[in-house]
């Protein structure tokens, strides 16, 4: 079985943190803030991650409401990412015991019933991107190519739900 073609190409030059991204037919920039060495000419990688989650959530809600013919007029999703200490860990103050946390606020505008709003809240947690991020089964396979692209070193990183990674 032949693996599918890559759908995203990221190119970063030697002197900047600015990434030129091609996703299918679309191009855009991703950068870091000036205070960490970037030029702040585009969203950060975490902004893009949150954008993926937010847009997937909103689109999933729109499709569901349209199918049900519910009067959902506008959807607003606000997201923020932060690193927090594990709450129930005896070593929570030690380095390495941090959790990534995403806060997602969903605002549904329109004359919806309380039952419709409750159902849409459940639907908002089932968008494909959120399922991928929270599945605990995400596997990232990295292949490092040399300048000639003739030799490669493949590394597979399994990220179990515990957050530990194993490199094979």
Note the pLDDT tens digit of each residue in 55-84: 999 999 999 999 999 999 999 999 999 887
pLDDT at 150: 47
For residue 70, the Cα-to-chain-centroid distance in whole angstroms is 28
What distance in Å separates the CA atoms of residue 139 and residue 166, rounded to the nearest whole number? 10
**First-last CA distance in the chain:** 22
Alpha helices in the chain (DSSP H): 45-68, 114-124, 128-134
What's the predicted TM-score (pTM) here? 0.78
Residues of the chain below pLDDT 50: 150-168
Q: Which of these, 106, 140, 141, 111, lies nearest to 124 by C-alpha position?
A: 106
């Amino acid at each position: 079985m032949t693996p599918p073609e890559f759908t995203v190409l990221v190119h970063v030059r030697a002197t900047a943190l600015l990434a030129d991204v091609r996703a299918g037919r679309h191009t855009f920039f991703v950068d870091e803030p000036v205070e960490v060495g970037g030029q702040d000419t585009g969203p950060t990688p975490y902004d893009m991650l949150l954008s993926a989650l937010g847009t997937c959530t909103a689109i999933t809600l729109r499709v569901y409401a349209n199918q049900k013919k519910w009067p959902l007029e506008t959807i607003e999703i606000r997201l923020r990412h932060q690193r927090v200490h594990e709450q129930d860990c005896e070593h929570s103050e030690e380095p390495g015991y941090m959790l990534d946390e995403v806060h997602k606020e969903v605002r549904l505008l329109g004359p919806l019933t309380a039952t419709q709003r409750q159902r849409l809240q459940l639907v908002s947690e089932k968008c494909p991107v959120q399922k991928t991020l929270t599945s605990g089964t995400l596997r990232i396979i990295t292949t490092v190519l040399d300048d000639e692209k003739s030799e490669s070193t493949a590394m597979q990183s399994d990220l179990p739900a515990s957050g530990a990674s194993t490199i094979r």
